[in-house]
Structure 1
Amino acid sequence: MIKIESKKNKFTYNVYHVTKAFYPKEDIVQTVDEKQEPLVKIHLPEGTCFSLAPEECVQTEDVQEEKRDVTKKVYQFLSKQTGQELAWGMLTGVRPTKLVMQKIEQGMTKEEIFGFLKEQYCVTDKKAQIAYEIACREKALLDQLDCKNGYSLYAGIPFCPSICSYCSFSSSPIAEWKDQVDRYLDAMIKELKATAKLMQGKTLDTVYIGGGTPTTLEADQLDRLLGTIRENFDLEHVLEFTVEAGRPDSITREKLEVIRKYPVTRISVNPQTMQQKTLDLVGRKHTVEDVEQIFHLARELGFDNINMDLIAGLPGEDAADMQDTLEKIEKLHPDSLTVHALAIKRAAKFGQEGRTMDPGTEITQMVEAAAASAERMGLVPYYLYRQKNIAGNFENVGYAEQDKAGVYNILIMEERQTIIACGAGSTTKLVLPEKIKTSSGKETNLIRVENVKNITEYIDRIDEMIERKEALFEKD
């Protein structure tokens, strides 16, 4: 066990996550004591104690600079203590490319950005390179959009065929909700129609139907949802319309034919792995052959932009398993491939079971093999994000053909455009043209409004969800 003692609460978040990155299998206990002298004390399991005195740190009124300096000194100590360097250094945020994008727009050169990432955050050259490349590609795409007058639409279906053991999303087994799905759709369609009225005069750039698993809906329910969007929103300028079909065991020919009736440009068929032993272990009720059959069916029906998701570091898998999975994926040749390094959250079954991840060489080999496989398929990295408790301190990377990059994925990461979301557990993000000061004194140009996660509450309180949106946009 590791014990962290902080003088101020503001140090706890970064210090915890940096320490956890170096010691992913250790339990960590934190306390705050404003009377203690050191800013931070860390008691490591091997008996070593690190103590950081105030005079050893930058003396400044800038809270962010103070936090960064404390975090950096903790990082440097732990790096020396363990003999390790973290790929992303002391960066704890989920959006490293957003930081790089800001520096590009400030006029920094590539060399200056690399120096900034290394000096300020101890980021390795390899990660600085991929962050820079992706930020440049993202900027080129975002520059084509009218982010001030444009917006994106998200519609969430919070049902899945079964709940995967690694999943922490707000989704429920469809079998338990069969009798309520139509009521859920009634509520969401009401919200969608109200949203369309709110957004009149704005340009809709992307539509994303996610979840959960949207194709847990029956064909007629899916038809009703997509029909509502087509009838109520102006789709003339939409660059991308995604239906995250997802689980192969939820996809049928009839459902794919329904989707083809609408201006959907992109779908997902997500295996996560092509190892049957792992699919069984994590609770996915489909076979490797199901993945292949559904993918070929989608191609047969004319879908020319298909994404596939993989997870590196699933329990029981090694680098050889990942290589076998990648060989199977290459034969299918999707138009985009999203590779996640496993992140076990407390809300997931694996998290509740106390499972941890091996941060060693296996996960490194898996991630590097996936990057090489994407390159062989002619796919380039176009977006990147990180998660807490992610295996090996790595990242999630989306690879795509040059003209098949997921526009919505970039927008959700870079937070440059308003995304208005409908459905249980969804979050609307309103991007303001100028920063405002919140009640807590923080300056931001991003306002969030969340819908309730509980499905029954969402149905019963749908008018309240709509009123929240109306109040937000009236105030804006």
Structure 2
Amino acid sequence: MEIYIKLEGHEFQYEIEDVLKLFFGYENIRICYEDPGEDYRGILLYSRFDAPSKDDGGYQIETMIYEDGENVFKENHFFSVSLPAKDASSIYEERKIQKREVKRQIYKALSQFTGKSMPWGMLTGIRPAKIVHELIDMGCSREEINSKLTQYYFVSEEKSKILYSVAKKERHILDATGQDMVGVYIGIPFCTTRCLYCSFTSNPVKKYEHMVASYIQALKKEIMSVGSILDKKGLKIQSIYIGGGTPTSVEASHLKELLMYIEQILDLKDLKEYTLEAGRPDSITGEKLEIIKNSQVDRISINPQTMKDEILKKIGRLHTSKDIVDAFELARSIGFDNINMDVIAGLPGSNLEDFVKTIDEIGGLGPESVTVHTMAIKRASRLNEDKENYSLTSGNEVAQMVDAAYDILTKMGLEPYYLYRQKNMLGNLENVGYSKLGYESIYNVQIMEEKQSIIALGAGAITKVVFPESNRIERAFNVKSVEEYISRIDEMIERKNTLL
């Protein structure tokens, strides 16, 4: 389908394209900005933005849709913006409001034109709970927040309810966080195999095993530098998260070396949470679990994604569902009492029955938390490169999966505590973390809500430093390549020194 876009008075094409993709998907449209001429076939979306005149002081947005040359929608919208003096901050805020109003009008037009409504309405951002936090800070009641979400942003009642619930859970963690607290992320960019859907920095450990020792040495050098920076600035570590990749894909000796060094160098006396992604059962051994248990790690993640063997094989996993159960029971026998498990709704070839069976089986194991991801077609994944050879689950069925997970897990006593969204998600849905009371992950909440600086170490890691007084975030990027990370480690360290 050809979709032509004509803009006047603004250049908010990025926002408009985001909304178009909600209604028409990512593969079925071609967006054009050239003049279609008189005999075009397809859709023309026209958006005109008029700045305030001296007389009325308000903005005007005119939105029209033409189908095969015939006008099928037209609406004029007027709004005003009342902000303080024209400093840089207010100019930025005014432009943000302008974009949002244009986006809202496009959503209204397309919703009427297609007869569709989206579960998250016009929202396309990663962190929708931020809106709720802003409204709570403004003193809005629950009813006012629900009205804003459903009437202004067009969020469904169901998603509004879960979003408010998540935000209230997050507040307990955010409100207990001091300005001198930070989170630390440490990345191990190796895996036994790369999963079909994965876009993270991960490398086959067999291919890179000759570089693991050098990588650990470079990582230790970065840890030393970060420890020194935190000490000098008087910053306390609230949480540590060791992710990847799959941290347990490296040899037990390397894992032990890293964990011992972290405790030797970093000041952990204020640490509230220490997570390590044990990850896939084909990389978990009793020896590695004993090493983890003998460290200060107090939370691990065992990530099945599905309990159907056929689908595990299809996505590139070298283990069975029985291996998942065995790894979980082994971790319990060693003494781990805070275990998270991840699942994905909408894996290629899956259906609602498969997914419900997965949730039931995982729930039966009794993990302290479960994270339910919605399948996302990530640009750098093998799935995106070869998707014509896979059967993707329909958006409607994925929505049923997500709803079923909510029903089953909440009945088991797990409540949603953090939520985020990604681009290219099936059904335009969300990822939700569920936990038993008191087992909410501090790191997960902090990384989502961006109220706390996260110091990130390792190949592909991104440090985010929050400046609350000016409401801004600055980032320092580590290179993704393992080889470059090792050879340029001094440069990575200097990037952090400059930012911090």
Structure 1 length normalisation: TM-score? 0.92
Q: Judging changes above 3 Å, is the alpha-carbon distance between structure 1 residues 143 and 251 closer, same or farther for their aligned structure 2 residues?
A: same
Mapping of residues 50-129 of structure 1, within 5 Å: 56=77, 58=79, 62-129=94-161
Matched letter for residue 215 of structure 1: T
Deviation at 1:83, TM superposition (A): 2.0
**Aligned mates of 2:445, 2:32 — CA distance in 1:** 37
**Aligned mates of 2:65, 2:393 — CA distance in 1:** 23
Q: Secondary structure at the match of 1:30?
A: strand
Greater C-alpha radius of gyration: 2
**Aligned mates of 1:231, 1:89 — CA distance in 2:** 49
Matched letter for residue 199 of structure 2: S
Deviation at 1:25, TM superposition (A): 5.7
- CA displacement 1:8-49 (0-9 Å, x = unmatched): 774222222222122226433334569x994279989x8587
Aligned counterpart, 1:412 = 447
Deviation at 1:352, TM superposition (A): 1.1
Deviation at 1:263, TM superposition (A): 1.0
Matched letter for residue 465 of structure 1: M
Q: Judging changes above 3 Å, is the alpha-carbon distance between structure 1 residues 188 and 43 closer, same or farther for their aligned structure 2 residues?
A: farther
Q: Judging changes above 3 Å, is the alpha-carbon distance between structure 1 residues 369 and 38 closer, same or farther for their aligned structure 2 residues?
A: closer
**Residue of 201, 207, 227 corresponding to 1:176:** 207
Deviation at 1:361, TM superposition (A): 2.8
Matched letter for residue 47 of structure 2: L
Matched letter for residue 424 of structure 1: A
Aligned counterpart, 1:203 = 236
**2:401 is aligned with 1:371:** no
Deviation at 1:358, TM superposition (A): 4.0
**2:74 is aligned with 1:39:** no
**Residue of 273, 281, 292 corresponding to 1:248:** 281
Q: Secondary structure at the match of 1:87?
A: coil
Deviation at 1:286, TM superposition (A): 0.8
Q: Secondary structure at the match of 1:199?
A: helix
Aligned counterpart, 1:14 = 15
**Aligned mates of 1:11, 1:279 — CA distance in 2:** 41
Contact 1:427–1:448 under 8 Å retained in 2: yes
Q: Secondary structure at the match of 1:7?
A: strand
- CA displacement 1:47-80 (0-9 Å, x = unmatched): 5877988965647783222222221222122222
Aligned counterpart, 1:156 = 187
- CA displacement 1:218-240 (0-9 Å, x = unmatched): 11100111111100111111110
**2:490 is aligned with 1:455:** no
Q: Judging changes above 3 Å, is the alpha-carbon distance between structure 1 residues 70 and 4 closer, same or farther for their aligned structure 2 residues?
A: farther
Aligned counterpart, 2:222 = 191
> What runs of 5+ residues in structure 1 fail to find an aligned partner?
436-443
Q: Judging changes above 3 Å, is the alpha-carbon distance between structure 1 residues 37 and 410 closer, same or farther for their aligned structure 2 residues?
A: closer
Aligned counterpart, 1:344 = 377
Q: Judging changes above 3 Å, is the alpha-carbon distance between structure 1 residues 336 and 449 closer, same or farther for their aligned structure 2 residues?
A: same
Deviation at 1:343, TM superposition (A): 0.5
Matched letter for residue 305 of structure 2: Q
Matched letter for residue 371 of structure 1: Y
Contact 1:243–1:267 under 8 Å retained in 2: yes
Moved more, 154-163 or 348-357: 348-357
Deviation at 1:189, TM superposition (A): 0.7
Q: Judging changes above 3 Å, is the alpha-carbon distance between structure 1 residues 295 and 205 closer, same or farther for their aligned structure 2 residues?
A: same
- CA displacement 1:77-126 (0-9 Å, x = unmatched): 22223222101100011100111111111111111111111232111111
RMSD: 2.4
Contact 1:162–1:173 under 8 Å retained in 2: yes
Contact 2:419–2:430 under 8 Å retained in 1: yes
**Aligned mates of 1:457, 1:25 — CA distance in 2:** 33
Q: Secondary structure at the match of 1:294?
A: helix
**2:325 is aligned with 1:298:** no
**Aligned mates of 1:260, 1:391 — CA distance in 2:** 37
Structure 2 length normalisation: TM-score? 0.88
Mapping of residues 381-392 of structure 1, within 5 Å: 381-392=416-427
- CA displacement 1:159-194 (0-9 Å, x = unmatched): 111111111112111111010011111111100100
Structure possessing the higher relative contact order (Cα contacts under 8 Å, 6 or more residues apart) = 1
Moved more, 20-29 or 232-241: 20-29
Q: Judging changes above 3 Å, is the alpha-carbon distance between structure 1 residues 175 and 80 closer, same or farther for their aligned structure 2 residues?
A: same
